[in-house]
Structure formats: structure tokens, C-alpha cells
Amino acid sequence: MNIVLSRIQIILAIILVYLLGSLLALTACDQKSISLRLIQEHVIPEIAKNLSGLTWNAETNTLFAVTNEPTLLFELNTQGRILRQVVLDGFKDTEGITHIEGTYFAVVEERRGTVCIINLPAQAESIAHESAWCLELDAASPRNKGFEGISYDPATRTIFTVRESRPFQCIAIPLDAHYNPGQPIIVPLPDVPVRDIASIIRDPDGSLWILSEASARILHLGPDGQILKTYRLPSNTRRIQAEGITRTPDGRLFVVGEPNIFVEYAEK
């Protein structure tokens, strides 16, 4: 009996140390975090629920977003107004989207554990799953805790996707000249002080932006993994479930969240 109790005590002690470590990390993060200024916040009435991933298309100067159920893709202007809607036919749980170049995008299906590259012509009203190049990450998660954030790095022609929950994991997917995905590679990801990773942005300089819905934080990490800045989401917008983030080349920061909220922030 004493041996059993000792083992239980050891397990409880390990759990306590882990929780205290997480709490201290979050506290340290809070102490040096920067507040964001709210520029605009809108409900998108045409979207009923489940607004998720977001990306910027520098070629059209517009935003593209997805909902995970129903599986739809939207093109938006910088005021959050819908310019067009595209049905993602046969897709499932589309949580993230990133623009590659031209009419090519990549979306991540969280529950299937796949990254799909799609061609989205300007007049397209529907994209069939069968027409996409899909790569299984061997990480399908029926509990909705799989890969969610996704971003494309044009400098290396590589797609990056990140697991939403701990243990966090980042996978790099190189593309060839015809946008065919190569063999996925697990790349190191620092132990960031957030509870989840909802969305990411990979900048051309190698830095990484992380949106955490559960921690109501945005982290900016340098190429070496060091935290450059931590931003607190303003308290008047924490009621949204922040799910997608993107930046424009001139530094405008956009966030979308469930059920159908569109937000723009700036550093104070």
C-alpha cells in the first residue's frame, strides 16, 4: 500500500511541477506583453458560424478565409466584406488556409490530418476534393486536436503546419515547381508559453507569428525561436474564439474568430 501511495504521490508531484511551470511561463509572458489597439471589429452576417483560418493574398490585396462546417471559402476585402464564396465540396473540417502564389492555396483538414493544395480560379464557385493534391500527415485527430495552423514561406517554397494542442509539433512540406507536395519533415518548435496554437504566420525573414485562442495572445518568434514580442488581445475582443491570423506586407494585423467575427489590430 505504501509503495502504491508513493507512486501516486510522485505522479501528483510531477503533474504539480508541470502545472506550476506552465503558470510561471504564462505569468512571465504576461509581464512583458504588449497591448494591441483595436482598429475595427465586425460581425460578418453572411457567415453563420465556424469562421476559422485566414490568409492574405498580396497579388489581389484581399483576404481569404475558411469555415470548417460547412466547408466554405470566402474572399474578403480589408473591411471584412465578402467578395465571393466558394464551396469546398467533399472537404472536411477545413481549419486553416494559406496563399501560395497565383491561384494556388493550401488548406488543412484537421480531423482528417491532411494538407490539400487547391487551384482557385477567379470565377470558381466550387472546388472538388478530388481535384486537390492532398497529403496525409498521419495525424488525424477525431477529438479535434490535430493540425490547424498553416502558412506558406515563399522564400523556401515550403508549407508549415502546426498541431493545435500540446505537445506542439511543426511539420514542413516542401513544394516542387508544379506545387506538388514533397515528403513532410518534422521541424523543431520551441516550447512556447501558450495553451494552444490556433493559427500561424511564417514571415519571409524566417520569423513565426503564433495566435493562441486559449491564452488570448499573439507571439512573434525570431528565426532562432526566441520570443521577440508578446501581444495581448484587447479584453473587449477576447469573447471571440480567435482562430485565424494574417499580416499584410505593411504590417496590418487581421484576426478572425468564431462564430463570425472579423478584427484588425495595431500595436499601441
Is the pLDDT score of 124 beyond 90? yes
Mean pLDDT over 127-131 rounds to: 98
Q: What pLDDT does 20 receive?
A: 40
**Residue 212: C-alpha distances to residues 77, 163, 180 (Å):** 24, 12, 30
Q: What pLDDT does 220 receive?
A: 96
Is the pLDDT score of 4 beyond 50? no
Q: What pLDDT does 1 receive?
A: 52
Mean pLDDT over 41-55 rounds to: 96
Give the pLDDT band (50/70/90) at residue 141. Answer: very low
C-beta of residue 107 within 8 angstroms of C-beta of residue 94: yes
- Any idea what DSSP says for residue 181? B
Q: What pLDDT does 12 receive?
A: 44
Is the pLDDT score of 223 beyond 60? yes
Mean pLDDT over 8-20 rounds to: 43
137/27: higher pLDDT: 137
- Any idea what DSSP says for residue 65? E
Q: What pLDDT does 243 receive?
A: 95
Burial 159-190 (b: 16+ CB within 10 A, else e): bbbbbbbeebbbbbbebeeebebeebeeeebb
Measuring CA to CA, which residue among 151, 53, 27 is closest to residue 110?
53
Q: How many CB atoms lie within 10 A of CB 195?
A: 15
Mean pLDDT over 31-39 rounds to: 81
**Grid cell in block for residue 205:** 525573414
Mean pLDDT over 224-252 rounds to: 87
Q: What pLDDT does 146 receive?
A: 85
Give the pLDDT band (50/70/90) at residue 32. Answer: low
94-101 and 253-258 beta bridge pairing: unpaired
Measuring CA to CA, which residue among 213, 94, 184 is closest to residue 146?
94
Compute the distance between CA of residue 217 and CA of residue 90 in angstroms, rounded to an integer: 33
Percent of the chain's residues with pLDDT above 70: 83
C-beta of residue 117 within 8 angstroms of C-beta of residue 109: no
Mean pLDDT over 44-57 rounds to: 96
Please write the tens of the pLDDT for every residue from 160-195.
999 998 889 999 999 999 999 999 999 888 889 999
Is the pLDDT score of 245 beyond 80? yes
Among 15-29, 38-52, 163-177, the range scoring the smallest mean pLDDT is 15-29
Identify the helix (H) or strand (E) that includes residue 83: strand 82-89
Mean pLDDT over 78-102 rounds to: 98
CA 154-247-72 angle, 5° bins:
85
**Residue 42: C-alpha distances to residues 67, 86, 166, 256 (Å):** 16, 21, 31, 10
Measuring CA to CA, which residue among 100, 161, 155 is closest to residue 132?
100
